[in-house]
Structure 1
Amino acid sequence: MDMTVDAWRDPRRPLWPLALVVPALPFAALALAVAAGRPWAWWLTPLVVFGVIPAVDLLIGDDARNPPEDAVAALQRSPYYRWITFLYLPAQYAALIMGCWIWRDWLAHGGVDPIGAAGLILTVGIVNGVAINTAHELGHKRESVERWLSKIALAPTGYGHFFVEHNRGHHVRVATPEDPASSRLGESFWRFWPRTVAGGLRSAWRLEANRLRIRGRSPWTVRNDVLNAWAMTGVLGVALVAAFGWAVVPMLVLQAVVGFTLLEAVNYLEHYGLRRQRTGTGRYEKVDPRHSWNSDRLVTNVFLFQLQRHSDHHANPLRRYQVLRSFDESPQLPAGYATMVVLALAPPLWRRVMDHRVLAHYGGDAGRANTG
């Protein structure tokens, strides 16, 4: 059925602000903690993100509809979608500051309860981990404001080098053994984690140092996008310590680890076992929809700015989240990202669910999969 721009309206338009629910959850947890007076209240955010959202995802199911191509240009220009990503950042930073305030208050009144502390660290870490997805959306754009906002969103996790490595490293090497962010068939998340964390950092520095040397500049400059992103983390850390004291440092470090571990869990599931084949010239084939795992689960797509439509993102990285498409040829995950992240943390369950899907994608030929 043909639809013109005038006839077509984005059916998800009223749903996109739900992406701001995640950074609002810590404040709901605070209200619950005050009302109930129990440390378990700080587990509200992990419960909603990894319990409630997957359950609702399962009930509502998939939505594979794509916007008509004649509506894409208008959708791309609309400031409405852009402002939703912008609004995540002040909510993110408000949650971080609130977490520091709670931590200091606990220490000032008799110490930190282990259950509450773990819940608070996970809460702040999840908010900042999901913020890396917001940074991912912003960092791919040509507009200078969005690219700088991407670095600001990355600052609380100390993962500013992701801005360089993801755009100029991962997108070039995706679904190849050379890419530290592409997981291999049979590789557990716990083996993948140190490889991707260290490999991504090394790659980001090498890419940025080479870029600057080509221009006749030393890598030790404020123009270095790795260094200026890390400097933002340093300034933020100094400001928080000045405001709340040295006692917040353990919480800041642990929540950062939670945040970038969440990112790497998503990296793990996005390309697990998938490999681009060599062409007759020895080069890797062009990235296409077969090289990323997709999910059309509606709820998680709304909460993650359609990160789950990952095939179109890799084929068209400048395409904004509201116009990303689902392709029939993309391999499909059996559930949304929130569910799959939990599975990734349990390697036997992950392999039982995913390994046969990788093999089916390659017609039973394990030699075509990414095995390292």
Structure 2
Amino acid sequence: MTHYLKHSLIIVVMPAFAILATVAPLWGLAGALALVLYQIAVDIATPRELAVPEYRHPWLINAVPYVHIPTSAFALLMLAWMAAPGDLFGIGQALDGVLGTSLATRPEPASWGALAAAAVTLGFVMSTNTIAAHELVHRTASPFAVWLGRWILATVGDAQYSITHVYVHHLHVGTPHDPSTAKRGENLYGFALRSIRGQYRDAWQIEMRRLRERPWLLRVLGNKVTTGVAMSGTIALGFYAAAGWRGVAAFAVVAGTSKFLLEAVEYIQHYGLVRTPGGQIESHHSWECSSRAASHIMYNLPRHAHHHLDARLPYSALKPTAEAPDLPYGYVAHILLSMAPPLWRRFAAPRLAKWDAELASPAERELAQQANRESRLPSYAALAPAERP
């Protein structure tokens, strides 16, 4: 039973955080910080999560990502209630009746500061929506799964991800054609801007090619980039109806926080790794990090090398890959480290040198040396791994 429950933690945590963040925003922020510290502590202090259980009821474990639909709807409803004047749908009175408190029945609307704190907290917790949706949009044999995955993505303003991740990232990872592969020496913030621009550009081009036989107007209106924006726009419209521009601003903060954290995850997953365009994708083209807490909360996403070797596999079937380069401290710790570019570059430099020397093919070694020079960083330009025997 533990193996079924461990990946369900976030769908329990999200509604709890939705209430805590909107009723007591500072406590919500403190709870988010505690969750971060908890993940770091578990990932560093416990052995790697190497188990690959056999599930007698695979439908149950594969159904977990779908539960992000109602939990996300609840979280966004709570945020709309907080942003709205009065007691939207009587939610505050109902909460106080259940909790036996008088916290939720506010005499005045929440302040902008409190609303921002709640939106950041929910953006942090709801960043897992992209990971749940990531699982569903890879189930390309099921249009229903992909459609629901796009709606989960729309709750964090990023439905286009369903296109670029599947049809660009997985084809071109490690090459200049993939905007989601971070270059050597590139800092997280510059990467995030470049990656987002590239994703929307590539998604638009893919969709326009798919619809090339249709009239131009139908290509624009039927484009999944357009419809994805419309899906998030529908949610934003609901916030506007409930709380005016305060509500729209709160939703924008949730989406922006979630998207930035997604880009931080993508930054560490392939940072500095290179691949010959058109070459086979192998285990050494992804950083592996089978840490326990991250594997549970992120649907085994840290087992990233195996995911790129066979993206059709459900998350429950992914295995640790010993041949892949390793991130030693856990996903959350590395994400925080990447937010301090000098520390991240210092951390990554020796590991990239080791990758060049021990894992890269001769052609990739040349690409790596070119990337080191193009980084214009002395510490990277000086990397010159010894030839493999």
Q: TM-score, normalised by structure 2?
A: 0.82
Instruction: Indicate yes or no: 2:3 matched with 1:12.
Output: yes
Tell me what 2:152 maps to. Answer: 153
Corresponding residue for residue 323 of structure 1: 317
Amino acid at match of 1:23: M
Q: 1:229 Cα deviation (Å)? A: 1.8
- Secondary structure of 1:12's partner? helix
Distance in structure 1 (CA, Å) of the matches to 2:150 and 2:333: 28
Instruction: Name the structure 2 match of 1:80.
Output: 60
Deviations 1:54-104 (Å, cap 9, x if unpaired)?
A: 11222223122345xxx5xx77x8210122111122111211111121233
Distance in 1 (CA, whole Å) between partners of 2:323 and 2:77 is 44
- Looking at structure 1, the residues matched to 184 and 143 of structure 2 have their Cα atoms a distance apart, in angstroms, of 38
Q: After superposition, where does 1:114-125 map in structure 2 within 5 Å?
A: 114=113, 116-125=114-123
Q: Which residue of 2 aligns with 1:266?
A: 265
Separation of aligned partners in 2, 1:126 and 1:103: 18
Structure 1 pair 299/111, CA: closer, same or farther in 2 (3 Å)? closer
One-letter amino acid matched to 1:250: A
Partner of 1:136: 134
Higher Cα Rg, which structure: 2
CA RMSD in angstroms, aligned pairs only: 2.5
Cα deviations by residue, 1:335-355 (Å, 9 ceiling, x for unpaired): 221111111111111112122
2:294 aligned to which of 287, 300, 306: 300
Contact kept? 2:85, 2:243, Cα under 8 Å: no
Report deviation, 1:15.
Answer: 1.6
**1-structure distance, mates of 2:50, 2:179:** 30
Is the CA contact 1:294–1:330 (under 8 Å) kept in the aligned structure 2? yes
Shift of 1:358: 1.4
* Counterpart position of 1:63: 49
1:185: how far off? 1.1
Residues 276-291 of structure 1: matches in 2 within 5 Å? 276-277=275-276, 283-291=277-285
Give the number of aligned pairs: 345
Distance 1:111 1:143, change over 3 A: closer
Q: CA shift at 1:225, angstroms?
A: 2.0
Query: Aligned residue for 2:125?
Result: 127
Residue 97 of structure 1 pairs with residue 88 of structure 2: no
Shift of 1:11: 6.5
| Separation (CA, whole Å) in 1 of partners of 2:318 and 2:9 | 18
In structure 2, relative to structure 1, the CA distance for the partners of 1:356 and 1:17 (3 Å cut) is same
Distance 1:231 1:53, change over 3 A: same
Percent identity (aligned): 28
SS at match of 2:289: coil
For the 8 Å contact 1:140–1:147, the answer to whether it is kept is yes
Q: What's the counterpart of residue 200 of structure 1?
A: 199
Provide the C-alpha distance between the structure 2 equivalents of 1:111 and 1:88, rounded to a whole number of angstroms. Answer: 26
State the shift of 1:172 in Å. Answer: 0.9
Structure 2 SS opposite 1:15: helix
* Structure 1 segments (4+ residues) deviating >6 Å: none
Match of 2:351 in 1: 357
Residue 162 of structure 1 aligns with which residue? 161
Which residue does 2:111 correspond to in 1? 112
1:23 Cα deviation (Å)? 1.3
Judged with a 3 Å threshold, the aligned counterparts in structure 2 of structure 1 residues 298 and 320 are, in CA distance, closer, same or farther, namely same
Amino acid at match of 1:333: L
Deviation at 1:109, TM superposition (A): 1.4
For the pair 1:188 / 2:187, whether they are aligned, the reply is yes
Shift of 1:228: 1.9
State how far apart, in whole Å, the 1-side matches of 2:333 and 2:62 are: 27
Deviates more, 1:255-264 or 1:230-239: 230-239
Residue ranges of structure 2 left out of the alignment (5+ in a row): 87-105, 375-389
Structure 1 length normalisation: TM-score?
A: 0.85
- Asked if 1 retains the 8 angstrom alpha-carbon contact of 2:15 and 2:75, the reply is yes
SS at match of 2:119: helix
Q: Distance in 1 between matches of 2:325 and 2:13?
A: 28
CA contact (8 A) 2:274 2:285 kept: yes
Q: Give the counterpart letter for 1:97 in structure 2.
A: L
Could you give the per-residue CA deviations for residues 290-315 of structure 1, whole angstroms, max 9, x where no partner exists? 10111111111010000111111111
Measure the CA separation in 1 of the matches of 2:111 and 2:72: 23
CA distance in 2, matches of 1:87, 1:320: 16
